[in-house]
Amino acid sequence: MSGFPLYQVDAFASDVLSGNPAAVMPLDRWLPEALMQRIAAENSVSETAFFVRNGGHYEIRWFSPAMEVPLCGHATLGSAWVIFNHLDPAADSITFRTRTMGDLTVRRDAADPARLVMDFPVTDFHPSQTFPELEAVAGVVPQSVWAVRAADFLLVLDGPEAVRDFAPKIDRITTLGRNGVFSNGMMVTAAAPGGVEGPWGCDFVCRNFQPGRGVPEDPVTGSMHTFLVPFWRERLGKDVLVSRQLSKRGGTLYCRDLGERIEIAGYAVPFLVGTCSVPVF
């Protein structure tokens, strides 16, 4: 048996037991893919991040309990927190090299070093149409529907209360699809009245359900903001936006639209530090 360090970090949170728990495993070499998938399933959080240092950057991969995913915001934030606080505390910025999204950087916020700022590429989205099956699964008639990635749906609802109370038929989300491609997930969002000065303390709210990726509801989703930020910038006329994800755990994301890139910032707090024992291959 061999042990690897294992951290669990609550991302997009200022207090433990809130935000989105990410499992983070620094490695000195890559483990077999099937083993990393089994470890992610055993960790049973929405994503586990594995990374290996390679010269001046870190190679990173993310696994949900069901599959490898192309991008994960909260587990990137958690990985950066581990590096800044345990592995390289003298660093001010980190570069993560990915298989599908190019290089992602994370830096300490100069005005607030406890807050970490991620730089991600924008994700395309385009208008779609509602249809009876989608409305039956969602349990609401959305203001509008947008297509994201291969077949995921973004629903714009009437207001924060509608997002907070949203209760879809989660087991039927993966039966929806377009052009023969079935959906992994359904996301909902709404503008928050009054912006950050209003009663919700943010510019927009959201939630994210990803049963096709083994995550019934993701507590706080950084990657979702790679299209939510440009979406709401166009409608609210603001480049700097604060988002609140209204899951049971909840989380706050501080965002800035840079055109083809998005800055997504947040806090992270540690929940546990331990050792993962896995067979040696």
Residues 6+ apart with CB under 8 A from 109: 115, 116, 117, 265
Active-site residue identified among 42, 47, 68, 260: 47
Q: Report how far apart, in Å, the C-alpha atoms of 235 and of each of 105, 134, 155, 228, 231 are.
A: 27, 24, 15, 11, 7
Spatial separation of the C-alpha atoms in residues 191 and 180, rounded to whole Å: 32
Q: Report how far apart, in Å, the C-alpha atoms of 9 and of each of 75, 127, 138, 249, 270 are.
A: 8, 35, 31, 14, 4
Query: Contact 209/217 with Cβ under 8 angstroms?
Result: yes
Nearest by Cα to 247 from 279, 192, 209: 209
Q: Is 263 a catalytic residue?
A: no
> What amino acid positions are annotated as catalytic residues?
47
